[in-house]
Amino acid sequence: MIKRILVANRGEIAVRVMRSCREMEITSIAVFSEADRTAKHVLYADEAYCIGPAASKESYLNIEKIIEVAKSCHADAIHPGYGFLSENATFARRCREEGITFIGPDPETMEAMGDKISARIKMIEAGVPVVPGTQDNLKSVEEAVELCNQIGYPVMLKASMGGGGKGMRLIHHADEVAEAYTTAKSESLSSFGDDTVYLEKFVEEPHHIEFQILGDKHGNVIHLCERECSVQRRNQKIVEESPSVFITPELRRDMGEKAVAAAKAVNYIGAGTIEFLVDKHRNYYFLEMNTRLQVEHPITEEVVGVDLVKEQIKVADGQVLQLRQEDIQQRGHAIECRICAEDTEMNFMPSPGVIKQITEPNGIGVRIDSYVYEGYEIPIYYDPMIGKLIVWATTREYAIERMRRVLHEYKLTGVKNNISYLRAIMDTPDFVEGHYDTGFIAKNGEVLQQCITRTSERAENIALIAAYMDYLMNLEENNSGLAADNRPISKWKEFGLHKGVLRI
């Protein structure tokens, strides 16, 4: 039985995995870089070991070092979280060679689905709809131009080993092909060590819908319904919700069956995600498979009542999946917002630094998966996401109201952050009404930026008020010996006298 798990990751996902381990009475083992000595996952774990310098390639991506630590501390299994080595077939294979259970799919499955060209072929064989496009590696610009003309513009040029929007270029005209081809191959090579690219027909006005799946070592596979992930900026998700207001019950049933078929086609074991693009006419196409836990998995947990990390561990331990498809029912509505240390007024540049003050919201239906605390310094070396704010309510309307409230309560100083931007999204009519697709940010960009500007002005006014009240308090202290009838005026009355000047 698995009794000791090394979590080969950092940040909020490491803490989240360790929480499930603690509930299961499993010892959690942290690994950390020199930049993460005081990180929350290090403090939370039962044991912790340094694996190298701050740079990821020398620590969190150092396969042999992680394997060495796992063996020396007698770990039964390794949970990779997401990102870093979570979809690295070489890492999964090394775990198997050393007799360490890898909490995830087999390396052969990773290789089959990690290569998007290979994945397309597998899905076609399994009867899963795919976006029209090429099945082979593009060899030249001339071939790319010829194929683009055949498929019809607009088309999407993609890196075969890509993810997170890297190595991806949208092409509207023939004269854009050469530059897109060159830059996509270069970006793919630098990001993934592979410059293979292919073409797909661009699906206009698409919804990004993904289905959570679970499979065990005994051939059982189920899906846990869908997540709507269409609020994206530069192909990076910002807000996710479940269920999707765009998906009908009939479409949900059909897509769920295809997601299960896709997973069975590659003998999938563990938690994974089948991602689809759904056009405005509700035609859907396989996009890719993520052979790991997703960032947005909490909203699925909230609406179906299943701890996905616990299920991952049980499946990896050889247990038969106890959940049946008929057991899975969506209950209520959940929304997740990604809280990031980034400057929304400076093109979302990362904003590392020291957290000076943090007040996290709470109350019924509120969940925070985070890893920061007051005094913690967010390193410059890693992803700027510092946490996920998740709410659940009985209806979507109530969930949006709750998210507005908790975003208002969430206070974070010391680093720039995107909380005001997320508030603006919650107030945008297209989102509130559920009439949005992956073009939401581009369509509403100007409105969202105006909301950020107004919020910034409001913060400046509050700062002026606070400074003036501090001045009055000091004035009162310096004049404390005066007679009662000569005491300075009440701070709140003074504020009232000036509220016409200082706007809130």
279/400 same-domain check: yes
Q: Rounded distance, CA 499 to CA 485, Å? A: 25
Domain membership of residue 456 (yes or no) is no
CATH of residue 332: 3.30.470.20
Q: How far is CA 258 from the centre of its chain?
A: 24
State CA 485 to chain mean position distance: 60
Residue 194 sits in the same domain as residue 211: no
- The tokens 């269920």 sit on which residue? 243
Q: What is the CATH number of the domain that holds 60?
A: 3.40.50.20
Instruction: Please indicate, yes or no, whether residues 386 and 292 belong to a single structural domain of this protein.
Output: yes
For residue 112, what are its two tokens?
């089959």
Tell me, yes or no, whether 119 lies in a domain. no
Does residue 72 fall inside a structural domain? yes
**328 and 442 assigned to the same domain:** yes
How many helices (H) and strands (E) the chain has is answered by 16, 22
What distance in Å separates the CA atoms of residue 76 and residue 68, rounded to the nearest whole number?
13
pLDDT given for residue 345 in this prediction: 87
220 shares a domain with 354: yes
Domain boundary among the residues 423, 449, 475 is at 449
Radius of gyration of the chain (CA): 25
Same domain, 39 and 87: yes
Is there a single domain that holds both residue 216 and residue 349? yes
Residues 189 and 210 in one domain: no
Q: Which of 102, 125, 159 is the last residue of a domain?
A: 102
Q: Is 76 part of any domain?
A: yes
Of 79, 110, 86, 62, which is closest to residue 17 (Cα–Cα)?
79
Label the pairing between strands 101-102 and 77-79. parallel
Tokens representing residue 26 in the block:
């499993």
Listed in sequence order, the DSSP H helices in 160-248 are 177-192
Residue 7, domain member (yes or no): yes
Q: Which two tokens stand for residue 25?
A: 């009475």
What is the spatial distance between Cα 257 and Cα 324, in angstroms, rounded to a whole number?
13
**Is there a domain that residue 250 lies in?**
yes
Are 414 and 354 a contacting pair, CB within 8 Å?
A: yes
Q: Can you give the pLDDT at residue 411?
A: 95
**Amino acid sitting at position 346:** M
**Type and span of the H or E element at 224:** strand 221-233
Q: Assess contact for 71 and 89: CB atoms under 8 A.
A: no
Q: Per residue of the chain (504 residues), what is the pLDDT tens digit? A: 999 999 999 999 999 999 999 999 999 999 999 999 999 999 999 999 999 999 999 999 999 999 999 999 999 999 999 999 999 999 999 999 999 999 999 999 999 998 878 888 899 999 999 988 887 888 899 999 999 998 889 999 988 876 667 788 999 999 999 999 999 998 888 777 888 898 988 888 999 999 999 999 999 999 999 999 999 998 899 999 999 999 999 999 999 999 999 999 999 999 999 999 999 999 999 999 999 999 999 999 999 999 999 999 999 999 999 999 999 999 999 999 999 999 998 889 999 999 999 999 999 999 999 999 999 999 999 999 999 999 999 999 999 999 999 999 999 999 999 999 999 999 999 999 999 999 999 999 888 877 776 665 555 556 567 666 766 777 766 665 554 555 555 544 454 544 444 444
Pair 233, 333 in one domain: yes
Judgement on whether residues 273 and 217 belong to the same structural domain of the protein: yes
- Is residue 253 flagged as an active site residue? no
Q: How many separate domains does the chain show?
A: 3
Same domain, 187 and 214: no
Residue 153, domain CATH: 3.30.1490.20
117, part of any domain: no
What would the two tokens of residue 252 be? 């949900």
Catalytic residue among 292, 338, 402, 423: 292
Instruction: For 471-488, give the secondary structure using H, E and C.
Output: HHHHHHHHCCCCCHHHCC
Q: Are residues 155 and 93 in the same domain?
A: no
Length of the chain: 504
Give whole-number Cα distances, 466 to 428, 461, 470, 494, 501, in Å. Answer: 30, 9, 6, 12, 14
Residue 11 lies in a domain: yes
Domain with 368 in it: 205-449
pLDDT confidence of residue 464 = 62
